[in-house]
């Protein structure tokens, strides 16, 4: 099986096992944009706390973010870590978002990357999930997924992105779902849970063998 067909087959396997992920969880386009920046170097649970704080304070809008003093913004987003740096960068990204909305056309990747603190993963997350443009998001889970399944070996972010975009139809819904499924795969693997039907079955067999041999449960 060639790599393109393998990428498609793995998507079908993940979808059958985990089901649709309905990602990105947000009530507005701007919430996606803010979340994409706040999730840098932290886990999603912490981002949810920061987003909840912003909502409770009535600050989760471009206008409110731009009017809120930085010290107050820092306090509200503190749960997501690096709160001083992120407060400044959220303000800069919000300014860009307001500019984009005023002109009424979607941003380019280069335009988002020009904002301090916005890297390739953040830019592509915004383009895909907020603006519905076909950019496949690459993160640490994607790299581990590719290595684990011997799907692709790339040198940098854009190598991986080009691989997925050339292997799959340019379908926004597919890109969203596949990325979300890979994240779910990575989370379950990190927790020692199911990582695919074939792998789960192997774990059960290996665990049973360990039990018979040593009378102990295999640590996963």
DSSP string, 22-35: -----SSHHHHHHH
Q: How far apart are CA 141 and CA 160, in angstroms?
A: 12
Return the SS3 of 81. Answer: coil
The per-residue pLDDT for 198 is 43
Q: Which of 184, 178, 202, 180 is nearest to 9 (CA)?
A: 178
Domain residue spans of the chain: 29-130
Q: Which of 60, 66, 72, 71 is nearest to 32 (CA)?
A: 60
Tokens coding 77: 């987003």
Q: How far apart are CA 212 and CA 206, in angstroms?
A: 10
Q: How far apart are CA 136 and CA 211, in angstroms?
A: 42
| pLDDT by 10s per residue, the chain, length 220 | 899 899 999 999 999 999 999 999 999 999 999 999 999 999 999 999 999 999 999 999 999 999 999 999 999 999 999 999 999 999 999 999 999 999 999 999 999 999 999 999 999 999 999 999 999 999 999 999 999 999 999 899 999 999 999 999 999 999 999 999 999 999 999 888 554 444 444 443 333 333 333 343 333 3
The per-residue pLDDT for 197 is 46
The per-residue pLDDT for 191 is 85
Q: How far apart are CA 40 and CA 38, in angstroms?
A: 5
- Asked if residues 193 and 186 have their Cβ atoms less than 8 Å apart, the reply is no
Beta-carbon neighbour count of residue 168 at 10 Å?
Answer: 17
The per-residue pLDDT for 173 is 97
User: CATH number for the 29-130 domain, one of 3.10.440.10, 1.10.340.30, 3.40.50.11540, 3.30.930.10?
Assistant: 1.10.340.30
- The burial of 220, by beta-carbon neighbours within 10 Å (0-12 exposed, 13-18 middle, 19 or more buried), is given as exposed
The per-residue pLDDT for 194 is 53
Q: Kindly give, in sequence order, each residue whose CB lies less than 8 Å from that of residue 59, ignoring residues fewer than 6 positions away.
A: 65, 68, 73, 76
Whole-number Cα distances in Å, 112 to 108, 142, 216:
7, 22, 53
**pTM of the model as a whole:** 0.86
Phi-psi group of 94: left, alpha or beta (phi > 0 → left; psi -120 to 50 → alpha; rest → beta): alpha
């Amino acid at each position: 099986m060639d790599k393109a067909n393998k990428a498609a087959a793995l998507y079908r396997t993940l979808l059958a096992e985990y089901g649709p992920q309905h990602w990105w969880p947000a009530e507005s386009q701007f919430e996606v944009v803010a979340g994409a920046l706040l999730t840098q170097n932290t886990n999603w649970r912490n981002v949810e706390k920061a987003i909840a704080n912003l909502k409770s304070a009535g600050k989760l809008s471009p206008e409110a973010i731009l009017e809120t003093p930085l010290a107050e913004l820092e306090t509200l987003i503190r749960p997501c870590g690096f709160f001083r740096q992120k407060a400044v960068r959220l303000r800069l990204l919000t300014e860009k978002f307001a500019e984009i909305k005023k002109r009424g056309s979607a941003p380019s990747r280069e335009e988002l990357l020009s904002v301090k603190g916005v890297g390739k993963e953040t830019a592509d997350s915004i383009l895909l999930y907020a603006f519905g443009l076909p950019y496949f998001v690459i993160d640490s889970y994607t790299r581990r997924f590719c290595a684990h399944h011997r799907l692709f070996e790339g040198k940098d972010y854009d190598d991986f992105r080009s691989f997925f975009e050339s292997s799959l139809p340019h379908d926004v819904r597919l890109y969203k779902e596949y990325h979300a499924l890979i994240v779910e795969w990575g989370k379950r693997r990190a927790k020692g849970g199911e990582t695919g039907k074939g792998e789960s079955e192997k774990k059960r067999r290996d665990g049973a063998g360990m039990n018979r041999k040593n009378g102990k449960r295999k640590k996963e």
